[in-house]
Structure 1
């Protein structure tokens, strides 16, 4: 039984038993920007519901699993529909609104520290078209989302940073419809991430909501990329979805004078290999994108795709067969000026422009799947990308559901972004403690990533152990990865800045070394001597000493210091110097460049 058949079976079973349907990331439609869509962004009514009164009865049983399936807030009963003798304890039509996309914490003062359940509701109008299919698509909702259309439950999705969708072709009404979400961002031990992170737990519908409109049989998925380390061969596939999967598909790249017609098999899939020459390869210095057109008799989609290869050889990283140093910086999905997640292309372009100004050719998008728009901008602007999932610190390593959740988030990112030339590394986690259970968990993720994509490097941000003045990198996971990549905070969490030049590194793997984090905190605008903690001068001095230390590492091929911009974190409590902000940014929350910015910028300018 293939995944699509399994999904259909589970969907039908859920309808019969009145159970929630879990959405599968593998079912995602490729290239949302290239589709016909109806945006559902805007103002959504909301109700705060810390006791889940709109979901559970007084016996703590879900209303949507009762015999009638009625009784929850998703019924969307308004005062206009009842008389004065009836008791209804909610009314979306008289409730306040929040902007979507956007988190709830930054939009409403009383929700700043709120973690729990909140309901969203949006009315929308559709003029249904014959011979069309409709899919309700969410870019991201943090963390658990129960989705209802016109009072009927579509399903449940877990994962605060991955897209998901439900087909609603048979559920939409011609004219007015309503969609209701119960969103719960409560931190839980067995989820991904777990209860303990070092970033703000922004709740809500944080990315775009769209109604996707397709033909009955349409181009559901495709991959158009250079074959594994073969600069003369474009390899890929096209997958159709619908009842009429027989026929032919045309793949065209006009600028390369490519036009290839291929036949689909019985499952609606067509694989292809196309020999190419005179390709202008994508790189940070030359972020060339080609228009790729895929068409059938009744559907057509276009994409902008770059072609490049990435591999390692000994302690070197090769982009298009040329040695490269990854001049990077780490970035969170957070806007320092308008509190909350990056909401639009302008926010994202600002962050990547700062990275370019710094001299970067590489960014680490930490610690979770970022917005698809961010990856498309990286393609356009010529920034290589380390993409990561929130397997962060201490996960429930022995819980099978936790593993399935992590794998689903990994697969979702790979399947969505496989055509983005900018992504050169898939990361399976950050600073995870070495145990037998953890090793098994992470090794399975590595194997799954390689199965899904054999054209990119697989890595993780490991930890170091210190033995005197020696920093040892000996995590057994390193044997399975393509890079010796690790975080180290010499001069901040261990050692003193003036002494870190004495440290040496004992790295047990003959692989390219990438330092995925280093740095220290500074309050923007606070100035003192270089020994005064939290001053810009102290951070500047720390960067100077760090770079001297790291230059002595044999096989150093890149770095992504922590971090580009200050970001919110409930773990950072000092009332003067932190105030719920992680101050390790080299740009402040007001957009001012700290002194360390210029130290790193000068360092990168002196690397070819």
Structure 2
């Protein structure tokens, strides 16, 4: 075993003593995946399942790190080692320290480019870095990026040298002292605000491509026309003479349709026969193979997938506006999923852990997840596609949230942001929509939550709908209400007791529940826990949950068409999860919860 560990370490360019010295920081509770984490094999799965190539190199693992005052040059000596891609504040980073807004976080490591990549362009990918990143290769600046939730990459070919190469990253993240989206992060965690997340928090990786390659794809299904549209952008930005894009659609390995286009035109492929529709009950995915050719020579090939599905809203026979999936009424019901981990914070310890929350949501009988003021790695959405879960995707809130939260939320008025803050919001919201556009599971965009940073609501809702007309828009979940978007969303705690109704739009209860229950030995803090209401046993929690669910079932028949229960798991001192924060205890009677949830999800069928 020791020889195997040493071999793994050397293959990653690490020293065996470093691996032996790494250990999680702090003494907080941990998940079973975090307890078993191998620092020599951190999140090894391919990070971009929507556009997969065969060759790539994972750069996750132990890097050197340093924290220095803003504006200083690269440190001559570093402070120690950090396990990438876990944020510096997290336990699994091995560091566990808070980054002040007057400080910058530095990373560095050595890497080699595989010999077989000779003659290729080499792309350096970051899944996500919070918030402002500046990247150097061999002391040559290769690019800068702002935005904490979306992937980015740089072509580093011209900065490479033979043999070992030095990669350096500098990060600045003011958390809630800045104008950028931060979600639930806080410099001083308390209540519903959690530990900050700074720096690299998703996979870092290398990829070889030809100069003429596919840079991104946009996949749009149309079940009314039995058509699948595929659009692509090349790495050069403009399509070269003689370029041709080809796509093939497979059903369980059998070729069922194909198409091609030139000069950057979209490929419209008609699916013959009886189209297999995607839904939570039948999450069927077609396999795609997409190739780029230049003068008949293949210059790129990627594997992908697509689903034939449609999200819309329509009045039912009684004149009630309902959300629909594939032109049929569907009550969308799921938990508020914050995506936090006691050991990794924003980053799940393993892919197995990432899957666990989604699969457990499905096991509970839900058909939807509201991803709350956070954006996940690409693999999370791919797992939702495969397992069959609809996703309501929030935009992470921001703009010095603690300063305006109590001042503006209860006034019913939109916040006035600075021009800088507005520009950052719209830039990052568009990037998030671009990033997630092709994932079939995304059914609803949620630009604002509870008035947190809510501004120019009607303009933002209209922009969102114009940017992506294939999804529904929930303009402000529980926030300041305007007659825009596709639904009215109210929050009601603890029970689902609506106080508003809009006959012109779909009506949903975007948050309710929050039933608290402390499971000793599985809490973030021993004596500072809270829920909207508190009980002392699993049976009491389950009984209260079922009571609320019965009320929700009545509301579904009266005219409501979706609901979100708070929440999937405990998070820090919030103890209102269906599971404990470490995911080691299911806090409810799963059989009873599943039965009533299925009744609600099927109530409009």
After superposition, give the CA deviation of every residue in 1:88-119 in whole Å (9 maximum; x if it has no partner): x7313xx4211111122223687344444321
> What is the rounded CA distance, in whole Å, between the counterparts of 2:532 and 2:353 in structure 1?
35
Specify the alignment match of 1:171 in structure 2. 159
1:304 shift after superposition: 2.0
> What is the rounded CA distance, in whole Å, between the counterparts of 2:520 and 2:546 in structure 1?
18
1:292 shift after superposition: 0.8
- Map 1:420-459 to 2 at 5 A: 420-432=439-451, 438-440=454-456, 442-459=457-474
Q: 1:291 aligns with which of 273, 287, 305?
A: 287
Specify the alignment match of 1:305 in structure 2. 306
Change (3 A) 1:109 1:42: closer
Secondary structure of the 1:134 match is: strand
What TM-score, normalized by structure 2, do the two folds share? 0.76
Specify the alignment match of 1:487 in structure 2. 491
> What is the rounded CA distance, in whole Å, between the counterparts of 1:487 and 1:337 in structure 2?
30
Specify the alignment match of 2:425 in structure 1. 406
After superposition, give the CA deviation of every residue in 1:264-301 in whole Å (9 maximum; x if it has no partner): 2xxxx122322223211111111111111111221111
Work out whether 1:248 is the aligned partner of 2:244.
Answer: yes
Work out whether 1:384 is the aligned partner of 2:403.
Answer: no
Change (3 A) 1:192 1:305: same
1:598 shift after superposition: 6.0
Please say if residues 226 and 233 of structure 1, whose CA atoms lie closer than 8 Å, have aligned partners that are also in contact. yes
> What is the rounded CA distance, in whole Å, between the counterparts of 2:182 and 2:142 in structure 1?
24
Work out whether 1:510 is the aligned partner of 2:504.
Answer: yes
Specify the alignment match of 1:59 in structure 2. none
1:355 shift after superposition: 0.4
Q: 2:112 aligns with which of 101, 112, 125?
A: 125
> What is the rounded CA distance, in whole Å, between the counterparts of 1:190 and 1:444 in structure 2?
19
Structure 1 residue runs of 4 or more that deviate by more than 6 Å after TM superposition:
none
After superposition, give the CA deviation of every residue in 1:112-153 in whole Å (9 maximum; x if it has no partner): 444443211111112474542222211111222222222233
Q: 1:230 aligns with which of 196, 213, 224?
A: 224
**Could you say what the CA RMSD is over the residues aligned between the two structures, in angstroms?**
3.0
Please say if residues 336 and 565 of structure 1, whose CA atoms lie closer than 8 Å, have aligned partners that are also in contact. no
Secondary structure of the 1:583 match is: coil
Work out whether 1:111 is the aligned partner of 2:102.
Answer: no
Secondary structure of the 1:595 match is: coil
What TM-score, normalized by structure 1, do the two folds share? 0.75
Q: Pick 1 or 2: higher relative contact order, CA cutoff 8 A, min separation 6.
A: 2
Secondary structure of the 2:141 match is: strand
Secondary structure of the 2:148 match is: coil
> What is the rounded CA distance, in whole Å, between the counterparts of 1:101 and 1:288 in structure 2?
32
Secondary structure of the 1:404 match is: helix
Change (3 A) 1:377 1:533: closer
1:384 shift after superposition: 1.0
Work out whether 1:91 is the aligned partner of 2:80.
Answer: no
Query: Could you list the runs of 5+ residues in structure 2 that have no partner in the other structure?
Result: 1-46, 187-191, 293-297, 316-320, 406-414, 522-530
Secondary structure of the 1:601 match is: helix
Work out whether 1:587 is the aligned partner of 2:579.
Answer: yes
Work out whether 1:262 is the aligned partner of 2:261.
Answer: yes
> What is the rounded CA distance, in whole Å, between the counterparts of 2:508 and 2:533 in structure 1?
29
Please say if residues 101 and 343 of structure 1, whose CA atoms lie closer than 8 Å, have aligned partners that are also in contact. no
Change (3 A) 1:185 1:582: farther
Work out whether 1:201 is the aligned partner of 2:196.
Answer: yes
After superposition, give the CA deviation of every residue in 1:73-102 in whole Å (9 maximum; x if it has no partner): 1xxxxxxxxxxxxxxx7313xx42111111
> What is the rounded CA distance, in whole Å, between the counterparts of 1:179 and 1:309 in structure 2?
43
